[in-house]
Amino acid sequence: MKSFFRYHFWVIAWALIIFIQSSFPAIEIPKVEWISMDKVIHMGVFGLLVMLCYISFINLKHQNTFKSSPLLWSAVLTIIYGASDEIHQYFVPNRSSEVLDWMADILGIIIMLLLIKYYLSKKFNFFKISSNVETAV
């Protein structure tokens, strides 16, 4: 139970925060711009989500598909979650569903995964795949 709150709870909590925040109607209809603070925020929010997802996957107790390819599955699941968030926002009053927001999500995901792969996993033990795998019988 302690490992759940240390590694897995945070990805669920952050995904829930994203969903709740995107459920509130916007004060005004946002302007569509190529590069704006909105896009930077999208990159940061989904970069954090993919990092939390990766940490959760590498700390799974049993060997499975998610633990054997944590970068790939973290990317796939957060990209799908980003798309579902944009679809969800389509149905919220005064919100818009924008492909450019989803592209900003994907860019943040890619940047974070590159940071994890080429820097963080070499520098910090927290980002290394744990060896606490129990063999399934």
Q: Is residue 9 part of a domain?
A: no
Print burial letters for 4-16: b (CB count within 10 Å at least 16), e (below 16): eeebbebbeebbe
The answer to whether residue 3 sits within a structural domain is no
Taking residues 108-131, what's their average pLDDT? 83
Q: Is residue 103 part of a domain?
A: yes
pLDDT in tens, 6-41: 788 999 999 999 999 999 887 654 565 556 788 999
Residue 52 lies in a domain: yes
Asked, for residue 84, whether it belongs to a domain, the answer is yes
Phi (first) and psi of residue 134, to 5 degrees: -95, 140
pLDDT in tens, 49-91: 999 999 999 888 888 888 889 999 999 999 999 999 999 999 9
Residue 125 sits in which domain range?
A: 43-132
Structure pTM?
Answer: 0.82
Name the burial class of residue 91, with classes exposed (0-12), middle (13-18) and buried (19+) by CB atoms within 10 angstroms of its CB: exposed
> Tokens 């080429």 identify what position?
118
Q: Is residue 107 part of a domain?
A: yes
For the chain, what is the domain count?
1
Q: What is the pLDDT of residues 93-105, one digit of tens each?
A: 888 889 999 999 9
| Residue 64 maps to a domain | yes
The pLDDT value recorded for residue 29 is 47
Tell me whether residue 35 is in a domain: no
42 burial level (CB within 10 Å; 0-12, 13-18, 19+): buried
